Structure 1
């Protein structure tokens, strides 16, 4: 058993809470796959390090920062005058201070009127709390009347977000990895560690089209010639880790590596430019998307009302937020150890819900998509270790798996549709997902499908390819699978114990569940 943090955290549940023992009315069987995993940790991806501070710390209720009330900068709720400039001034003042709570009282604030400049509202520093007075009908509403313009109208995904939380600066190349590291190892060895200190964040990068690398991931599945990125550029991995300590040229990481590192391929290491400890809380982000959504019809459909992006951010969170009438609710981009808790998407149906895009160790938990976004909660573009926990969406949509090589995505206690036409991704960036997709106690609510395929013939359907997913405890109205297309499978038709793979792995690593789990009740 590997463990990067030898001491379990001390804060544990005060009340008698053990989500691992939750059962349906009917008794559930213990998962043999999980029992085997306890003995051999290579049988499943380890999702136990996802979320804020590797799942070990409670999200803080920050009260000791200076408060920057947007109304003192000129914002006024419930009038007909834009508040966009005032909100940016409040954020700038908090950034300049080095920390702060950007606070919104109750009411509707106008954030993109005809008179406004067509730019995002941006925060580029850490230790910033963006806090409203509740995301319900009588709370704080940030109303986006008009879209922002796309960078390129022919590229339907290029509308910038209205709110962007990010970091200044750029990554700095350090060197390359000189020694092999297996999945689960917490130590990597570099040719140089000059410029790095304990506590820094790094990004490990691999881009190589060596055929052995591709075969190792896809195994028996065949590469299509139309997948030009995989064929020409190859396996693309970018993962983000924090340095726990440094010894000689060795970096001891706070979380284990999740992809086999072979130094014969060029693994580069850069110091990651990031912001930390950003919190987005108790705010309703409301767009003005009122058209009937048509996938890829226009940039307005696909990204016109993109509300929020968390970018180059680590050990941060978003909780208790609502997204209404939007094209895209929120994207966690090139970030690590982010927790998204208790959020809702409602109103008119749009393009995407909440997605981990090119990020590492992201937790999306207790979120609901009532709008039936075309792509609901999911992962894309090289994300590694994404957990979708206890989330729900309608039977009319499905999880997102948006190609460009996401890996290790866990759909854990998720309820909603399962269909092959909602993954996403262009042909040149296929397949939809690489190794490590796990459906654990997934409850499918749309009509049953006989012999559901995760790797259909391209003559039948080109836009749905996922190699050897793990399916455990799947329940439905009678769906069956092409079993030869699955990796491990168990208990198709009946839920299993543990009810949550993520929580079971977290408890296994820390010995006890941490206190913050209570928030998920």
Structure 2
């Protein structure tokens, strides 16, 4: 029976059925066997695969897609003085908007409406001044990268004092940075050896290391044995002018960024595997790594001013004919128009950005696990596309060069390790090479890319080799400096450049490698792609139990949902429309369901129409049917304290001001230390109040009293005494106090202590005050008109017209008519507003009926 089964397996192998894999990768099977062995036995076993594990690269280690919906506050640059399409610099306004977002406790989205915004203009701007984002959770977001979207125009180059002698030093204009330099603070020493692709290392002491902390695994050592180990099987004598080699003179340097997920007294465990074997004799260290997190730029076009023919490290000859390589104006080509840089960032991103006319596009420097996905380069090709610089585990993927070829395509340089250059396409015409820019990169992957390799890759002779061990070239298709007998390590007799230390190659198409000794570590399946099309995807799917995330497969699944308003202020009988924006726009199923948690206060129908019924607060929740993503809006009915002026006894925390107690937002609070503390609300006018509600931070059961008075001159009267309260104030079940209705303008709550809470902080999420007034019994049909969205982009919707109007007119602010429409006997109208001469700004809507005219202000974005 066993013999027959064995014969059956041989038949299957010799005569595979149609559709069964034809060219599986032995390298991948070797890697998978190592992973299987670790699952079954010890995760730190000695079975080390040939291939590094690249599956942890990218935003949140590839486990989730880039965000498309944001909960942070939006800061529109036009609110800070920026004006689209006016040919005037908007740099100051943009920096003001970023500053405001940085001061917000939860960060913010710096938003650009459609149109062109100038970000660097020599006529008015300091060209050496950088636009910086220095806090986490700050996102720069436009209105799209295509026609009708946002364009940032870097009219003039950035400057640096040394640019005339060092043409590469002009800084990136937009920088996400915590202002750290390359030196990170020392924590402890590594005490024992560790194999690459393992997760746990021994250290001298872990008392200053926390689980969840970002650290840098670091070594810099000029030991001759260490240098020999790095270069083997070659030696420094195989490189041009070995006496000038930085690796020899400055030492071997490795930087790996990792997140600590476990520790004991003398060990720390990382989430990601290490990619360079550790010999503790060379004085490896653990450094602290201070970072920004959750920062990104997306949905816009970034245009520079480099419009001349690019010549590598040479000034545009159209401007400076005859100026030699490295001349005083070479910076215009090399770095003058440098766009975006991330420095000391983890989990950052660049996505849906069209770049054009740039010297250098973007760079992840001293950063980890960031992603640059789905970007495009158009216009005039320049020096560099998107690259890493001393970064760990970044993913640069699905980026397209639509020009005749940027000199250095997407790639990496310096002590970059564990990065993945994935599914990028550069021209296959010999104009462009994927960047591998020397200065000791290790263990990086070029995965399913198209373009050029082993030429136009960068690196001075002193910084060589271009790449050290474990460069992986997987299913690459393209061209090289010649079509056959391509050498990864070219001898000095051929060129003093182009030195790659025995890459691992699988499925290479377009050119063939030399079979001379030490030209590669492995070269499987030359001329035919292997079945595992993408190594990154295969390894990621393995780690995630056979499943690839939707962001990889590009299944049009819902990734989030946004509510048009997070807080609503209504009176009894009033109606409003909430809109749910499902992300992404290409999602296949955008259907949602609505629910109110308190239908006695407010109900909502299937179209998002709210009706207010009684005083109180209802939390409206919208849920996507695909993915069950949710967003909420707090509907306040007859809450006369909402967004009113307040005075407080103390406001020690800038991020937790008194106004936060009456803003309708559960994510903000007023906090003051040491009881008693009080908060006074000016209702703005005399109100007949009968009920209050209190929502407390961490559901605390505060002791408090509430007082009311009709004007400033009179004394307060106590209307609520909860000095012995034991009831917690929950978001969905606030502490509610009803009392005999009183007329009051000023309301004061005094917190004197708390039950079952040993702290001394008075922290209030929401304090609400309700009156019983409702709409009058007279006909209010003219007041029930609903207009949305406002602000709008191209279309507005009018509801509840109740056949009261005959004509609709829209004019701009100087009275020019934009729209005129007959609406007799209509209850609902949809209107498209297009005005090419004044596409954004204020408009006036008039509804004209029999003896009645209603006027509304509209804002077009």
Q: TM-score, normalized by length of structure 2?
A: 0.56
In terms of mean alpha carbon deviation, does 68-77 or 242-251 score higher?
Answer: 242-251
Q: 1:125 to 1:76 in 2, by over 3 A?
A: same
Q: 1:211 to 1:294 in 2, by over 3 A?
A: same
Query: Do structure 1's residue 390 and structure 2's residue 384 form an aligned pair?
Result: no
Deviations 1:199-255 (A, max 9, x none): 111111111122322232322112131452111222110111111133223222111
Q: Which has the higher strand share?
A: 2
Q: 1:136 to 1:26 in 2, by over 3 A?
A: farther
Q: 1:346 to 1:261 in 2, by over 3 A?
A: same
On the 8 A contact 2:30/2:49 being kept in 1, the answer is: no
On the 8 A contact 2:371/2:394 being kept in 1, the answer is: yes
| 2:281 partner SS | coil
On the 8 A contact 2:454/2:481 being kept in 1, the answer is: no
What corresponds to 2:147 in structure 1? Answer: 137
Query: Do structure 1's residue 495 and structure 2's residue 529 form an aligned pair?
Result: yes
What corresponds to 2:740 in structure 1? Answer: none
Q: What is the alpha-carbon distance in structure 2 between the residues aligned to residue 169 and residue 459 of structure 1?
A: 42
| 1:452 partner SS | coil
Q: What is the alpha-carbon distance in structure 2 between the residues aligned to residue 205 and residue 181 of structure 1?
A: 14
Structure 2 counterpart of 1:204, from 217, 224, 228: 217
Q: What is the alpha-carbon distance in structure 2 between the residues aligned to residue 380 and residue 454 of structure 1?
A: 17
Structure 2 counterpart of 1:149, from 144, 159, 179: 159
What corresponds to 1:83 in structure 2? Answer: 90
| 1:331 partner SS | strand
Unaligned residue ranges in structure 2 (runs of 5+): 1-18, 35-47, 315-329, 557-861
Q: TM-score, normalized by length of structure 1?
A: 0.91
Q: What is the alpha-carbon distance in structure 1 between the residues aligned to residue 339 and residue 256 of structure 2?
A: 25
| 2:220 partner SS | strand
Q: What is the alpha-carbon distance in structure 1 between the residues aligned to residue 445 and residue 521 of structure 2?
A: 14
Structure 1 counterpart of 2:53, from 37, 40, 46: 46
Unaligned residue ranges in structure 1 (runs of 5+): 1-24
Query: Do structure 1's residue 222 and structure 2's residue 214 form an aligned pair?
Result: no
On the 8 A contact 2:206/2:264 being kept in 1, the answer is: no
Query: Do structure 1's residue 164 and structure 2's residue 198 form an aligned pair?
Result: no
Shift, 1:121, TM fit: 0.5
On the 8 A contact 1:106/1:139 being kept in 2, the answer is: yes
Deviations 1:64-91 (A, max 9, x none): 1101111101111011211000000000
Q: 1:193 to 1:520 in 2, by over 3 A?
A: farther
Structure 2 counterpart of 1:115, from 106, 124, 139: 124
Shift, 1:490, TM fit: 1.0
In terms of mean alpha carbon deviation, does 375-384 or 33-42 score higher?
Answer: 33-42
Shift, 1:293, TM fit: 0.9
Structure 1 counterpart of 2:499, from 465, 468, 487: 465
Structure 1 counterpart of 2:100, from 93, 97, 112: 93
Shift, 1:445, TM fit: 4.6
Structure 2 counterpart of 1:482, from 494, 498, 515: 515
Q: 1:304 to 1:428 in 2, by over 3 A?
A: same
On the 8 A contact 2:180/2:344 being kept in 1, the answer is: no
Structure 1 counterpart of 2:437, from 394, 402, 415: 402
Q: State which structure, 1 or 2, has the greater radius of gyration over its C-alpha atoms.
A: 2
What corresponds to 1:7 in structure 2? Answer: none
Q: What is the alpha-carbon distance in structure 2 between the residues aligned to residue 399 and residue 26 of structure 1?
A: 33
Q: What is the alpha-carbon distance in structure 2 between the residues aligned to residue 445 and residue 466 of structure 1?
A: 16
| 1:204 partner SS | strand
Structure 1 counterpart of 2:23, from 23, 29, 54: 29
In the TM superposition, 1:260-271 aligns within 5 A as 260-271=277-288
Aligned length: 495
Structure 1 counterpart of 2:467, from 429, 433, 441: 433
Shift, 1:168, TM fit: 4.1
Q: 1:397 to 1:482 in 2, by over 3 A?
A: farther
Q: 1:91 to 1:146 in 2, by over 3 A?
A: same
What corresponds to 1:518 in structure 2? Answer: 553
Q: What is the alpha-carbon distance in structure 2 between the residues aligned to residue 222 and residue 449 of structure 1?
A: 28
Q: 1:296 to 1:226 in 2, by over 3 A?
A: farther
Q: What is the alpha-carbon distance in structure 2 between the residues aligned to residue 483 and residue 228 of structure 1?
A: 25
In terms of mean alpha carbon deviation, does 207-216 or 236-245 score higher?
Answer: 207-216
On the 8 A contact 1:391/1:413 being kept in 2, the answer is: yes
Q: What is the alpha-carbon distance in structure 2 between the residues aligned to residue 429 and residue 356 of structure 1?
A: 16
Q: What is the alpha-carbon distance in structure 1 between the residues aligned to residue 140 and residue 22 of structure 2?
A: 42
Q: What is the alpha-carbon distance in structure 1 between the residues aligned to residue 217 and residue 175 of structure 2?
A: 24
Query: Do structure 1's residue 57 and structure 2's residue 64 form an aligned pair?
Result: yes
Deviations 1:90-146 (A, max 9, x none): 001111113101101111001111211121100101111111111113211000111
